[in-house]
């Protein structure tokens, strides 16, 4: 049993952040399946009851870990748009490529998609079958950033294009088909064409490409 006691003067948000940071350390160090709520409490220096109060059950911890990482991905999206405040395609390209690069280099994402961590039982659903919150958050951020640009498409088309963008990027995060430098331009070209009202030109199928 952990001898750690909670400091009542510590704000709840700081306690939650400490618990999440400890969960991420355990996840990347020894895998999701090895995490117990008691062990997490000891690692974070709080009581087990505090872990349940701040986070909830272990599946809810999985949701919290994924959403915490999502916040870092969305910061990359903001950076991409901030670098190109007047030109939409370069902004989208910087954002998409940045997200794919972070996914490639993120120890958390590597742990999530690795079958050796036990992730398939609890960490994958927040990115797949229980991804509504994640998708809504990402769509809201991208839609807000797009509002600063001169986009000819109507609101319905913008909503559809943003949904395609977010879902496609998530798919590439989970199962890359190439390097970020290879994948990002094609994703952005399709979305930019939709937003501009131009023709959507898809690259030829690999099976049709002749050497």
pLDDT digits 0-9 by tens, 110-135: 777 764 444 446 777 766 666 677 88
**pLDDT, tens digit, for every residue of 162-207?**
999 999 998 898 888 899 999 999 999 999 999 987 655 554 444 4
- pLDDT at residue number 32: 84
Query: Encoding tokens for residue 96?
Result: 């998409």
Q: List the domain boundaries for the chain.
A: 12-56, 59-208
Q: What is the pLDDT of residue 67?
A: 85
For the stretch 139-151, pLDDT in tens is 999 999 999 999 9
Superfamily classification of domain 12-56: Homeodomain-like (1.10.10.60)
pLDDT for 198 equals 60
Q: Percentages helix, strand, coil for the chain, rounded to the nearest 5?
A: 75, 0, 25
pTM confidence score = 0.76
DSSP 56: -
pLDDT at 7 over 50: no
pLDDT of 46 > 50? The answer is yes
């Amino acid at each position: 049993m952990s001898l750690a006691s909670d400091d009542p003067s510590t704000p709840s948000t700081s306690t939650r952040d400490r618990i999440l940071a400890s969960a991420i350390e355990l996840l990347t160090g020894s895998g999701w399946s090895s995490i117990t709520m008691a062990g997490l409490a000891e690692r974070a220096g709080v009581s087990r009851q505090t872990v349940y109060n701040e986070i909830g059950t272990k599946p809810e911890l999985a949701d919290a870990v994924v959403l915490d990482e999502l916040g870092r991905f969305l910061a990359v999206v903001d950076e991409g748009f901030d670098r190109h405040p007047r030109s939409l395609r370069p902004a989208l390209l910087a954002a998409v490529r940045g997200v794919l690069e972070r996914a490639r280099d993120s120890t958390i994402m590597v742990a999530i998609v690795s079958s050796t961590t036990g992730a398939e039982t609890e960490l994958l659903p927040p990115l797949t079958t229980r991804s509504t919150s994640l998708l809504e958050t990402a769509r809201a951020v991208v839609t807000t950033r797009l509002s600063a640009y001169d986009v000819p498409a109507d609101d319905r088309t913008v909503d559809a294009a943003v949904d395609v963008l977010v879902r496609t990027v998530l798919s590439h995060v989970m199962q890359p088909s190439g390097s970020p430098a290879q994948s990002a331009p094609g994703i952005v070209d399709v979305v930019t064409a939709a937003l501009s009202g131009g023709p959507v030109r898809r690259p030829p199928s690999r099976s049709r490409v002749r050497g």
